[in-house]
Amino acid sequence: MTPEVSLSLLRHGYRFQPRMAEMSGPRPTLPVRVLGRPALLVAGEEAVRLFYDRDTMARAGAVPAPLSEELFGAGAVHGTDGARHAHRKELHLSALGPDRVEELMGVLERSWVAVTSGVAAPRPGRELFDTLTEVLGGAALEWVGVGTRDVRRRSRDLMRIVDGFGSVGPRHLRGRMARRRCQAWAREAVRRARTDPGRTPVHEVARATDEGGDLLPVDVAAVELLNLVRPLVAVAWFAALVPMALQERPDWRERVGECGDDESRRAFVHELRRHYPFVPVLAARATRDIEWGGHHLARGGRVLLHVVATNHDPRTWEEPWAFRPERFEGVEPGPYEYVPQGGGDVQRGHRCPGEPATVEVLRFLVERVAELSDGQDDLVLDTTRMPTAPTPRPPRAGPDAGAGVRHRRGGWLTRSR
C-alpha cells in the first residue's frame, strides 16, 4: 500500500525517509501519497534536473496555500510559472544584483558592530541565534530602505514567519500573526515609496509592474518586499550552526576565523549549506504524465525532492555524511549537485536569486562567529524540528557526563536506525 507521508514529514522532520540516500539504482524513487494524492519522492542529482525542468514541473499549487502563503505570502513569485514568473523574478534579480550585495555587506558590518559592541559574547545556541536575528534583521531593514524603526520587534517577527512554516500548534499560530504584522508595515512602506523617487530596493519594489505593465497591487508588492528581507533574516539558522560544524572540524577554526582567508570561508559556507539542509523536502507539480524510476505519475501529481538525501547522495559526494569543507576548496558547486537554495539556472528557473547574497553574508558571519567560542561547546540538533538550530546538550549523569559531542559515522543525522 502506498504510504501517506504528510503527517510523517511533520513528525520526523529531517529524519523523514532516512534511507532514501542509500537506495540502489540511478534514480532513487518512492511512490507515496501527499494529502491523499499520488506523488513521487525522488532524490539525487538526476532528480534535481527533473525537479527544475521548466517544461515538466510547475510550482503553482505544489505547496498547500496555508503553508505557502504563511512563508512566501499570497501572490509571491515562488508560486508563479512561465512568463509571469520570469517577469516577476527580474525584480528580485535586480534588487539582489552585485552592487546591491556590496551595499548590503557594508550595512551588515555596521549592524554587527551596533548589536555586539559593549556586550558579552553570545553563547552558542539560542543566545547566539537571537543575536544573529537582530544583526541580520537590522541590516536587512536598513539595506532595503525601510529604516531602523522597531528593528528588534520586526526582526523577531520575520524570524517567526520562517519558524512557523511547516509546523502545527502555537509555533504555527505565532508565525501567522507575525506575517500579518509584517504585511501591514510592508504595505505602508510600499505606499510611502510610491510617492518618493528614491533608489533603494523598497523603491524598486514599489515601482515594479506585472507582465502587463501595471503597478503590482500594494499587497503583492508588500509580499515581495518581505521576500527580500525575510530570507536574509533566515540566514541566522545557517550561521547559528557554525559552532556545531566547528565541533566536528576544529581544525578549520583558524582557517575561517580572523586570521583565515575568504577562500576557506567560502568553502566552509558551501559545506555548511550542503551538510545542514534548511528543509527536508521541496515540492512541485508535474505538468504532464511522467515515468521516473520505474514509476508512473499522472499530470498534476506532486514530485517531492528529498533535499537531505540529495545533499548526502553517495553517488555525488565522497563521505557524504562527513563535514568536509575541503571538498569545495577552489570549486564552486554545480547547478544540480545540491539544493541549498534551489537548483538549475537562477536566471530562468526557480533557483533563489538571493543565493550569492546568502553566501557573502554567511562568509562574513562565519568569521565573526568562529571567534566567539572556544570550541568546548556541546551542542545537539533536534532533527524533528523544522527549521532546526543547535542547542546545548542537557546535562548527563553517569561516567560520560561532560564528554563532548562524538561525531560518529552518520554525522548530525544518523542514516538508519
* Total count of domains within the chain: 1
Residue 145: predicted pLDDT: 96
Residue 86: predicted pLDDT: 86
Per-residue model confidence as pLDDT tens digits over 187-201: 999 999 999 989 999
Sign of CA dihedral 48, 54, 56, 57: positive
Write the CATH number for 48. 1.10.630.10
Residue 67: predicted pLDDT: 76
Low-confidence ranges of the chain (pLDDT < 50): 399-410, 414-417
Q: Give CA–CA dist 340/279, Å, rounded.
A: 9
Q: Domain for residue 187, yes or no? A: yes
The residues pairing with 265 across neighbouring beta strands, listed in sequence order, are none
Residue 50: predicted pLDDT: 95
Q: pTM of this prediction?
A: 0.92
Sign of CA dihedral 47, 15, 388, 360: negative
Q: Domain for residue 149, yes or no? A: yes
Per-residue model confidence as pLDDT tens digits over 225-273: 999 999 999 999 999 999 999 999 999 999 999 999 999 999 999 999 9
Q: Which amino acid makes up residue 375?
A: G
Q: Domain for residue 409, yes or no? A: no
Residue 345: predicted pLDDT: 82
Residue 375: predicted pLDDT: 64
Q: Domain for residue 408, yes or no? A: no
| Grid cell digits, residue 107 | 550595512
Residue 413: predicted pLDDT: 61
3-state secondary structure the chain: CCCECHHHHHHHHHHCCCCHHHCCCCCCEEEEEECCEEEEEECCHHHHHHHCCCCCEECCCCCCHHHHHHHCCCCCHHHCCHHHHHHHHHHHHHHCCHHHHHHHHHHHHHHHHHHHCCCCCCCCCHHHHHHHHHHHHHHHHHHHCCCCCCHHHHHHHHHHHHHHCCCCCHHHHHHHHHHHHHHHHHHHHHHHHCCCCCCCHHHHHHHCECCCCCECCHHHHHHHHHHHHHHHHHHHHHHCCHHHHHHHCHHHHHHHCCCCCHHHHHHHHHHHHHHCCCCCEEEEEECCCEEECCEEECCCCEEEEEHHHHHCCCCCCCCCCCCCHHHHCCCCCCCCCCCECECCCCCCCCCCCCHHHHHHHHHHHHHHHHCCCCCCCCEEECCCCCCCCEEECCCCCCCCCCCCCCCCCCCCCCCCC
Q: Domain for residue 316, yes or no? A: yes
Cis geometry, peptide bond prior to residue 170 (ω within 30 degrees of 0) = no
Q: Give CA–CA dist 391/140, Å, rounded.
A: 25
Q: Domain for residue 404, yes or no? A: no
Residue 416: predicted pLDDT: 37
Which structural domain, as residue segments, surrounds residue 325?
6-392
Q: Domain for residue 16, yes or no? A: yes
Q: Domain for residue 184, yes or no? A: yes
